[in-house]
Amino acid sequence: MRDIIQTERLVLRTLRVSDAKAYSKYASDWDLARMTGSLPYPIPLVSAEIKIEMLLSKRRRGLAYPYAITKNGEDMIGVMDIFLRDQNSDFELGYWVARDYWGHGYAPEAALAVMKEGHRCFGVSRFVAGVFADNPASMRVLTKLGFENTGSEGDYFSMARLKHAESIGFALDLTAQLPNHLQKHEASLIDAH
């Protein structure tokens, strides 16, 4: 996958260790961290550096493709990732956006770009995602992208909460009909080769 992906309003680029300060600052927001499975709360700078190094290691091994979401190619405002839980799993979409940037449509815009890139590079036609049941904002992002609710996945551990919470599964088949508002992107998603 490319190191840089540009959208209408965003520049997605490979994470850098130098993003650790912004990563630590934004991901140390309780309302953000508790909606993820893998972010501890708070996440000190050294932990953010280690987390980024781990994500970059997974990228080198072809297990994850994490991107810094930026508006200018430099200052990170969130993370968009597609990753494999194991060699036999579907690509999973994972993301977070800093509170100051909520409500601007950046998550769906970044997700669409990364999914398109995943389809272009690997022929991925199906993506999955998991959302905590008390995270309606993330459910709206996935629904806007055309993901369908596949039901309860049981309890999933949240590092920030330090406990399990109910998780809801979502899936998107790019070969199926996309919602009307995404049909203009359908050809670019399906025929990205």
Angle at which helix 136-144 crosses helix 106-122, to 10 degrees, equals 50
pLDDT along the chain (193 residues), means of 10: 97 98 98 97 98 97 97 97 92 98 97 95 95 98 96 97 98 74 48 38
pLDDT tens digit string along 151-184? 999 999 999 999 999 999 999 998 775 555 555 5
Topology of domain 4-190, CATH: Aminopeptidase (3.40.630)
Model pLDDT, residue 87: 82
pLDDT tens digit string along 1-12? 999 999 999 999
Spell out the domain ranges in the chain. Answer: 4-190
pTM of the model: 0.91
